[in-house]
Structures are given as C-alpha cells and as structure tokens.
Chains A and B, each alone.
Chain A
Amino acid sequence: MSLQDQLEAYLTRTGGKPAKVHDLFRIPGGASRETYRFDLEDDGGKRGMILRRDPVGSLIDTDRRVEFLAFRSFFGRGLPVPEALALEGEGAELERPFFIMGRIDGGKAQSPFTLPPYGEHAATIGEQFFSHLGQIAAADPATLPISEAAPSPSLDACWKKELDYWEGVVDEDEEHPQMIVRAAIRRLRRNPPPPAQKLSVVHGDYRTGNFMHDGHGKIIALLDWEMAHIGDPLEDLGWAIEPLWCYKETDRVSGMVTREKAIQLWEAASGLHVDPAAFAWWELFASVKGAAIWISSAKEYRAGGMKDPVLGLSGWFTARRQDEILANVLAKLEGLA
C-alpha cells in the first residue's frame, strides 16, 4: 500500500467521508521527521496540508506531541504559525506516528549556507525574526496548550535541565573523543548562569532555515517546533544568533541585523532584559547543543546504513564547523582571541 493510499484511508476514516489526496510530495528540511506536502480534497474543495511522520532514523529524538501542542500554542495568536490539525501517536494507517497541519503556501526557507541569505530584505526580515521570538518569550507557557505535555522546570533549574540532557546525548552518541565539546561543557558547569527571569516557551530550533519568507521581506511561517520545551527565554536567543546560522557573515547575526539590533528587538518585543553574563552562558550552551546534535547525527548516519546524506553531512561538515566556533568562543572567553 502506497503512502498516498494509507493517507487517504486515514483521512476517509477519521473524516467520515471519502477523502482524496492529490500532489503528495516529500519535501526537504525538517530533518527530525519525514515531511510531505499534499492537497486534501473532500466535499469538492481542496486544502493544502503538511504531513510530519516519524522517520526510521532521525537527526534528533523529539516528542511529537510537544511539537504538535507548540504549534497549537501559537496558532491564531498574532504569529505566523500553521494550524495543527491531527495527531496520531500510534501511527494508525500510516504505521508510524505522525501529525497533520495546515500548509502555508507562497514562501521559501533559506539554507544557512547561502550568502547573502536575505539580500535587500535582510533588515526587514531581521526585525520580524527577532520581534517574533520576543513575542514567543513574552507568552506565559502555563496558559498555553504546550504546558499539557512539556514539564515546567524551576527558574534556577532551566540551565541544568538542558545541559544535562545535551551532555547525555554526547555521552551516548560520541564515537570519537570530543575534546572541544567536553571543555565547553566543563566550563558551563563551572560557571552556571543566574536563574531565568521567567519561564517561556522555548522554540528550540529558532534559526535561519526554520521559517519561510515570501521573497519580499515578510515572514509567513515559523516552522520546525520539534525541540520546543519550557525553559529560559535566553536559550532561544542564544540559538538564533549562533554563528553557525550566518555562514561567512561576521557583522550580521543570522545574516539579518547586527547583534546589538537583534538584542534590542528581542528586548522590546519580550519586555525582558538580556543580562550579558547570563547570555554569554546561553550562547556557549547553544554551540554545545549544536555539537551534540551533529554528534548524534553522525551516529545515526552509520546506524541507518548511511542512506541519509543529510545526516552524513551534519555529522561531518557541520560538526567540524561547530568545533571551530566552539574553540574560538572558548579562547575568546579567556581573552586569547
């Protein structure tokens, strides 16, 4: 039975009426799950949809229910977020767990390895990008659907929860001794940040490549919430300005605006303050988290029979680039750069 047949069977059963699937295509990106676009026809009308199905192997292990509820948390709240429609934790007709959401058409996601990624629209996109992130940080997670599935740490435990998790990933998946990552982890543990100002929804992968813009300077969809959780709002900001996402750009974070402007936009939209010492911790943490993801993808590449070149590239080239970033940050923190 083809995926199209499976999808039609599922949609017909759950919709209680015949459903027809058109133009089903897998699309690149969203590496933690298989992502497909399709049009659903029922009652004579057509609607654009996205299917996100768990893969056999993945870049990262994430909780699909948390991702689903993260979409629900911000849909219809003034941010460009697709509507999450259906979640099947057991896989039903599609055999592997999945969820379906509405599709936002007319945009494109930019690879972090393009230069310049946003051309003449860089500043305009940057203003929206960091303001949207500030809006996410400002929201109270206790009032949002994501709190049904994501645990809320105490304010002083946010950093430890994340560092413990990602160090655990390195411990489990490291196949070659990671001297630079280990040094960074030790430094983070020796110099913990102050407690979070508040608890926020942390997107977890808010960066170039994980949103769509319309080509004319407007962000139309914030995507890839698979690492969403509740934690310190500075975590997302540190990840968003991680140097990995602005390849060969030195004066604009994420290829958009200056670092100072990014922080200013985020502070204005969130109503929060960026404490330099706390933020330095979260910036270094972002590089450690990145390294953990690439270490994990290298292991998954081998375990999956080397069939997914994205995992191979991530576990090799991206891991090397992350090492370079980490080594330079560690040296800079000691006044050596």
Chain B
Amino acid sequence: MTPTVSELLLGNFIALMDPPPPEAMGDFMAGKVAVTGMIAMLAAQEAERGAEARLWENNAIRDLLRQGGAEIPADAAVDKDFAICGLDRVNATLRRALIALHTEAEDKGDRTLDHAILRFYVKSADMRRLDMPPMPGN
C-alpha cells in the first residue's frame, strides 16, 4: 500500500522544514501540524503491525491461488525479505495474480471461490486497519 511509513515520516519533516509564507501562518499552519501529528501516531501502529499484516496477507493469497488452481508466481512463492517494503513487493505480485483469479471465478460463476475471496478482502482490510482515535466534536 502506498505511501510507505518511511515516506510519510520523511514527508512530515519536509512539510515542517520550510518556513511558511506569512499568509500560511495561523489556522492553516496549525492544521498542517495537526495532520503531521496524526501521521506520526498512525505510523507507530504501522511500524508495530504492518509486517505481520503483510505476511498474513501474502500467505492467505497463496492459499487462495492454490484453492483456485492458479499458479503462484515464482518470484512470490515465499517471503524472503521481511522489511515492509520487501513484503509489499511480493504482495503486489500476489495481488495481481489474485485479481486475475477473482475475475475468472466471477466469470465462471464459481461462488465458493468468489465468497472465499470476498471474506479474505474483509479480513485483509481489517488486518491493515489503522486506528485513529476520534477527535472531540463540538
């Protein structure tokens, strides 16, 4: 998924590095600082759980490909690089294969496989979820 945590944290630095023009002080700058704070808070969650979510997702996609009789791409057969960016590279290959398999299942009317993939989507989105605490309302 893009952008990556390292890009976001670098972006936070870049966003605050340059002094803003006079007209961008006040509410706009306060809002910008608040958003960089939110990013830092969520980045901590991604650092904590991001690798686990990707490892789970990559293995789950391989299982679905096997279930659907599809070939697992050779360069995505196993995870060797456990950095988030390494897991993401394999994940991109696996996701492309899954999209093709899901399309084929829909075209064939294979509801068992279609539903298995839909259930996987729910679990995958939940595994990658980032929890932002609600801000106080008015």
Contact A26 B24 (CB under 8 A): yes
Contact A111 B138 (CB under 8 A): no
Chain B proximity of A181: nearest CB distance (Å): 10
A336: chain B residues within 8 A (beta carbon): 115, 118-119, 122
Residue A179 contacts which of B14, B42, B99 (CB distance < 8 angstroms)?
Answer: B99
Residue B2 contacts which of A24, A309, A315 (CB distance < 8 angstroms)?
Answer: A315
Known: A25-B25, A334-B115. A324 touches B138 (CB 8 A): no
Chain A proximity of B29: nearest CB distance (Å): 8
In A209-236, the 8 Å CB interface with B consists of 215
Residue A306 contacts which of B3, B32, B98 (CB distance < 8 angstroms)?
Answer: B3
Contact B102 A179 (CB under 8 A): yes
Chain A proximity of B84: nearest CB distance (Å): 12
A320: chain B residues within 8 A (beta carbon): 1, 125, 128-130
Asked if B75 CB lies within 8 Å of chain A CBs, one says: no
In A84-139, the 8 Å CB interface with B consists of 108, 110-111, 113-119
Q: How far is A34 from B122 in the complex, measured between Cα atoms in Å?
A: 36
Asked if B48 CB lies within 8 Å of chain A CBs, one says: no
Asked if B63 CB lies within 8 Å of chain A CBs, one says: no
Asked if A196 CB lies within 8 Å of chain B CBs, one says: no
Asked if A80 CB lies within 8 Å of chain B CBs, one says: no
Residue B27 contacts which of A27, A113, A313, A337 (CB distance < 8 angstroms)?
Answer: A27
1/0 contact string of B67-82 vs chain A (CB within 8 Å): 0000000000000000
Contact A327 B137 (CB under 8 A): no
Q: How far is A264 from B38 in the complex, measured between Cα atoms in Å?
A: 37
Known: A182-B99, A183-B121, A330-B118. A317 touches B130 (CB 8 A): yes
Contact A307 B121 (CB under 8 A): no
Contact A117 B138 (CB under 8 A): yes
Contact A115 B137 (CB under 8 A): yes
Which of B35, B102, B124, B138 counts the most A-chain CB atoms under 10 A from its CB? B138
Contact A108 B27 (CB under 8 A): no
Contact B15 A308 (CB under 8 A): yes
Q: How far is A27 from B28 in the complex, measured between Cα atoms in Å?
A: 5
Chain A proximity of B102: nearest CB distance (Å): 6
Which of A4, A302, A316 counts the most B-chain CB atoms under 10 A from its CB? A316
Known: A182-B99, A302-B2. A113 touches B39 (CB 8 A): no
B45's nearest neighbour on chain A, judged by CB, is: A317
Which of B3, B96, B138 counts the most A-chain CB atoms under 10 A from its CB? B3
B35's nearest neighbour on chain A, judged by CB, is: A309
Chain B proximity of A320: nearest CB distance (Å): 5
Q: How far is A308 from B11 in the complex, measured between Cα atoms in Å?
A: 8
Contact B95 A331 (CB under 8 A): no
Contact B23 A113 (CB under 8 A): no
Contact A177 B92 (CB under 8 A): yes
Q: How far is A183 from B115 in the complex, measured between Cα atoms in Å?
A: 12
Q: How far is A321 from B131 in the complex, measured between Cα atoms in Å?
A: 9
Asked if A305 CB lies within 8 Å of chain B CBs, one says: yes
A residues engaging B (CB < 8 A)? 2-4, 24-28, 36, 108, 110-111, 113-119, 175-177, 179-180, 182-183, 186, 190, 215, 247-248, 255, 298-299, 301-302, 305-310, 312-313, 315-317, 319-321, 323-324, 326-328, 330-331, 334, 336-337
List 14 additional contacts besides A176-B1, A183-B118, A328-B122; criterion CB under 8 Å.
A108-B138, A114-B134, A175-B2, A176-B88, A176-B91, A176-B95, A180-B121, A183-B121, A186-B103, A305-B14, A309-B39, A313-B35, A313-B42, A317-B39
23 contacting pairs across A/B (C-beta < 8 A): A4-B22, A28-B27, A114-B135, A115-B136, A115-B137, A119-B137, A175-B2, A176-B91, A177-B99, A183-B117, A186-B103, A215-B138, A248-B134, A298-B2, A301-B7, A302-B2, A306-B11, A312-B8, A320-B1, A323-B128, A326-B121, A328-B122, A330-B118
